[in-house]
Structure formats: structure tokens, C-alpha cells
């Protein structure tokens, strides 16, 4: 059976922590008071023992009258202004003495109390010199001649010490309780506010508002980092949802024409009797079918890359060598069209998959060849940061409208000037998918006269790729 406990809520948990903290303080305080009390009692007992031993030893070598003289001399005198009696005035700090002869008559000592039995008595009722009543710890000893000696220590200092310790403890407990309750309420409200913001954002997204994001306070706290991770996740989910909607629309648009042709050609086959015409129609049907197969193969390729399964194959790769190899492959095609290929690279080792990186740069070269316009060349430069290799692929072609900077990375996205050019609009989508699979990014860096795409790939052994090595 699942219990419904009060500390399951943030407020209840905060108050429970405050209560436990207070209980711990109470237990520590009680132990402190008890230990201090017992220690001071032990000090008083030890002092009484030493005093009694000194007087008994004196009696062994002196007469009873001489002992009485010594008791009168010591009566009312303390042992100095230090120790547990240091803060008690002289009238209340006295050691009390009483000496009686064998008949029970008092012959020395001003202790006002009934003579106790031999041994220890923890609470002996006494009357102090100022007339007040109290209790003393007393030690009584019978001497060989029948006389009896009492040495007592007033418990007033012990009581005052106990009172002060308890007062300090109660003040400390009140301060701790107040601080704990205020801290618990503040923590509870902080956690509730941040969780409420996350819940509100999640509810907004459930209601269909994909633009909602968890607010950040830029404090760098654990909640802020969690909120940033959630926002990054939401950005990713929103992009995938947007791509899914776009893919559905584009697939319907791009498949309509070849499927219509297949349907028409199949109708033609039913009406024709000419075997040669039938063969031509079949060739066209096969060509259109291959277009569809290429489209679906490209879509599946993007999906596989976005699944990040390729990270299991990641190894150290020289990115500059990959780019040089692709550039050498495409130089003849560029030179035939009187275009240039220029590189400014530096040695850079990244943690990745060489085949995927080659595929990404092949698509970038193809994009310039196909869409940048006549005589557009390509210039690739590379810079290194602490943990990233930054590659910029620039052309001096016709460029794209600034508002289309993100659209060109969507699957099946084709801008109007490229509608009549062969292709399916998957090239740059694959480039971004490869960058994301490598924990990097692909974005438009500049538009206008020409297009510059910025590709960022983490360097090998950088903090960004450490988490992927075992995946």
C-alpha cells in the first residue's frame, strides 16, 4: 500500500527538514546541558573530597581544638576567583563547614544545616549568610574521637550555570528554528516557483503552443541549467515536429508528379499495342520509380543520421584531410565550369565518422555546383577554438533571402529558383544532421552576395565529445 506522506510535497519536505534539524538541535542541547551539569557536580565533589582529606589528615597530627581553629579560619573563605564559582559573589560562594564533638555539640563552622549522616548527600538544605535558603552538596565524616566533620559546597553556582546554559540553548534553538523555518519557506517557494514555471511551460506545449519555453534567470543555478536543457530539448522537438509537418507536405507535393506520370503511363500501356512504345513507357516508369526510390533513400539516410547511431563508430579523424580529399575530387568539375576552389585549412583532429563527414562536404560542394549559380566558386577556411573546429564554406553565387536561412536545412526544402533543378532538397538537411550527430552545429553565417555556411565540429578529446565515446 502506498502511503501518502506530508513530505512528498516541496513545502512538506522543507518543513520536515526544518523539524528534523530542530530535533537534532534539541538533542544536542539536552546532551550539552546534562554533560555540563554532571561535570560541574563532579568538580564540586572532587573539591569537597580534597577539602575533607586535608582536614582529616590535619586531625591525625593535631588536636581537635587545633582542627576547630583551622575550620574557623577556612569558614567563609573561597579558593580564588576562578573556576565554576568565579561569577558568584563572596557571600554565596562559601564552602560551608560544621564540626561537632562526640556529644554532638557544634564547636566550629557556620554551616546552617542539620547534621547529615556520614557519607555523601547531594541535596542538603542550608541557610545562607544572607538569609536565603538553598541546597548544598555535602560530605560528612566521623573522626576517631567521635567528633564529626561536614564539608559542604553551595549548589547555587551549579544552578546558575545550568540556567545560563539552558537560556543560551533556548535562544540558540529559537534562532535556529526561526532560521530553519524561514529558509525552508524560502526554499519551498523558490522550488515551487521554478517547478511551476516548468509545469506552466509544459502545459502550454500540451495545449499546442510550441513556442513556449521555460524562463531563465541567468544565475547559472541547477534550476537554470535544467531549464536550459529542457529548452534545448523543446527546440529540438519543435524542429522535428516542424520538419515532420514540412516533410508530409513536401512528400505529397514532390510525389504527386512522378506518381501521376506512372498512372498515366500505365493507362497508356493498356491502350497501346505497339511493343516499342510499350518499352519506352516502361523505361519512363522505371526512371520515375527510381526518383521515388532515391527520395526515400535520402529521407531514410537523414533519419539514420539523426538517430545518432553512428556515434558508436566515432574515431579520431583528420578533418582537414577529409576536406582536401573532397576538394581534390571536385576541382576538375569546378575548373571545367571556370570556377575556383580555394582552401585555407589547418591541422584539426575531430572525434567522428569519416564517411559521414565526407558525405556532408560532398553535399556542400554539390550545393554550390547546383544552386549557387553560373561561375560561382567555393572558398573554405578553418579556424580552431579551445574545443571546436570552425569551418566556413563560402561561395560568391546568387545567395538566398535572409528569411530562408533556416529553411534551407529542412528536409525536402527547395527554394523557388531551385524547383526546376534535379534533386530532392535533402543535401543541407544531411549536412546539419551530420553536424548534430558530431555534437556540433551547421548554420548560415552570411547571406547576400553568395552564401556562407558555418560548420562547427568538436575537436577530439574536447569536453563536448567525452560523453559520446562509449555510445
Break the chain into its structural domains and give their ranges: 7-162, 207-307, 311-470
Same fold across 7-162 and 311-470? no
Phi, then psi, of 91 in degrees rounded to 5:
-65, -25
Mean pLDDT of 328-346: 88
How far apart (Å, rounded) are the C-alpha atoms in residues 69 and 57? 15
Q: Which CATH class is domain 207-307?
A: mainly alpha
Give the pLDDT confidence score for residue 318 in this predicted structure: 94
Asked if CATH classification 3.40.1800.10 holds for the domain at 311-470, the reply, yes or no, is: no
The pTM for the full model equals 0.47
Closest CA to 10 of 202, 225, 187, 201: 187
How far apart (Å, rounded) are the C-alpha atoms in residues 55 and 53? 6
pLDDT in tens, 380-426: 999 999 889 999 998 888 777 777 777 777 766 656 554 445 555 67
Residues 6+ apart with CB under 8 A from 172: 25, 29
Give the pLDDT confidence score for residue 328 in this predicted structure: 92
> pLDDT category, 129, cuts 50, 70, 90?
confident
Are 359 and 327 within 8 A, CB to CB? no
- ∠ CA(300), CA(288), CA(373), 5° rounding? 75
Mean of pLDDT over the chain? 77
Which position has the higher pLDDT, 413 or 200? 200
Q: What is the DSSP letter of 116?
A: P
Angle of helix 222-271 versus helix 275-306 axis, rounded to 10: 170
Which position has the higher pLDDT, 239 or 324? 324
SS3 call for 139:
strand
How far apart (Å, rounded) are the C-alpha atoms in residues 358 and 323? 7
User: In CATH, which of 2.40.160, 3.40.50, 1.10.1740, 3.30.450 is domain 7-162?
Assistant: 3.30.450
Q: Where are the alpha helices (DSSP H) in 207-274?
A: 222-271
Are 75 and 108 within 8 A, CB to CB? yes
Give the pLDDT confidence score for residue 254 in this predicted structure: 66
Phi, then psi, of 384 in degrees rounded to 5:
-115, 135
Burial degree of 445 (CB within 10 A; 0-12, 13-18, 19+): middle
Exposure on the CB side of residue 198, measured as CA atoms within 13 A: 15
pLDDT surpassing 60 at residue 443 = yes
State the cell numbers at 6.
506530508
Q: Give the DSSP H/E element, type plus range, for residue 301.
A: helix 275-306
Amino acid at each position: 500500500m502506498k502511503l501518502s506522506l506530508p513530505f512528498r510535497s516541496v513545502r512538506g519536505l522543507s518543513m520536515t527538514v526544518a523539524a528534523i534539524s530542530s530535533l537534532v538541535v534539541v538533542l544536542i542541547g539536552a546532551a550539552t546541558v546534562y554533560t555540563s551539569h554532571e561535570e560541574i557536580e563532579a568538580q564540586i565533589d572532587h573539591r569537597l573530597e580534597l577539602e575533607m582529606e586535608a582536614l582529616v589528615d590535619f586531625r591525625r597530627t593535631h588536636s581537635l581544638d587545633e582542627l576547630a581553629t583551622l575550620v574557623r579560619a577556612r569558614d567563609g573563605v573561597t579558593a580564588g576567583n576562578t573556576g565554576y564559582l568565579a561569577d558568584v559573589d563572596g557571600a554565596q560562594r562559601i564552602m560551608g563547614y560544621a564540626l561537632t564533638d562526640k556529644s554532638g555539640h557544634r564547636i566550629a563552622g557556620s554551616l546552617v544545616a542539620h547534621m547529615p549522616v556520614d557519607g555523601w548527600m547531594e541535596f542538603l538544605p542550608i541557610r545562607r549568610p544572607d538569609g536565603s535558603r538553598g541546597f548544598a552538596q555535602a560530605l560528612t565524616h566521623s573522626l576517631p574521637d567521635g567528633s564529626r566533620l561536614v564539608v559542604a559546597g553551595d549548589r547555587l553556582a551549579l544552578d546558575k550555570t545550568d540556567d545560563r546554559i539552558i537560556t543560551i540553548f533556548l535562544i540558540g534553538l529559537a534562532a535556529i528554528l526561526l532560521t530553519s523555518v524561514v529558509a525552508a519557506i524560502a526554499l519551498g517557494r523558490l522550488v515551487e516557483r521554478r517547478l511551476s514555471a516548468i509545469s506552466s511551460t509544459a502545459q502550454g506545449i500540451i495545449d499546442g503552443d510550441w513556442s513556449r519555453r521555460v524562463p531563465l534567470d541567468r544565475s547559472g543555478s541547477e534550476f537554470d541549467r535544467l531549464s536550459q536543457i529542457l529548452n534545448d530539448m523543446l527546440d529540438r522537438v519543435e524542429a522535428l515536429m516542424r520538419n515532420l509537418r514540412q516533410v508530409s507536405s513536401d512528400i505529397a507535393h514532390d510525389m504527386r508528379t512522378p506518381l501521376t506520370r506512372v498512372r498515366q503511363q500505365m493507362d497508356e500501356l493498356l491502350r497501346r499495342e505497339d511493343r516499342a512504345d510499350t518499352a519506352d513507357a516502361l523505361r519512363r516508369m522505371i526512371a520515375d520509380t527510381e526518383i521515388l526510390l532515391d527520395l526515400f533513400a535520402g529521407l531514410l539516410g537523414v533519419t539514420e543520421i539523426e538517430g545518432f547511431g553512428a556515434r558508436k563508430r566515432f574515431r579520431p579523424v583528420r578533418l582537414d584531410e577529409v576536406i582536401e580529399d573532397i576538394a581534390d575530387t571536385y576541382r576538375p568539375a569546378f575548373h571545367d565550369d571556370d570556377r575556383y576552389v580555394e582552401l585555407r585549412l589547418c591541422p584539426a583532429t575531430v572525434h567522428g565518422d569519416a564517411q559521414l563527414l565526407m558525405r556532408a562536404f560532398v553535399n556542400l560542394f554539390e550545393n554550390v555546383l547546383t544552386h549557387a549559380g553560373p561561375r560561382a566558386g567555393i572558398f573554405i577556411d578553418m579556424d580552431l577554438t579551445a574545443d571546436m573546429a570552425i569551418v566556413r564554406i563560402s561561395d560568391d553565387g546568387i545567395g538566398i533571402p535572409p528569411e530562408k536561412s533556416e529553411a534551407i536545412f529542412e528536409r525536402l526544402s527547395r527554394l523557388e529558383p531551385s524547383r526546376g533543378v534535379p534533386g530532392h532538397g535533402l543535401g543541407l538537411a544531411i549536412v546539419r544532421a551530420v553536424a548534430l550527430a558530431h555534437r556540433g552545429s551547421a548554420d548560415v553565417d552570411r547571406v547576400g552576395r553568395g552564401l556562407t555556411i558555418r560548420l562547427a565540429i568538436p575537436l577530439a578529446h574536447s569536453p563536448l565529445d567525452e560523453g559520446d565515446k562509449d555510445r
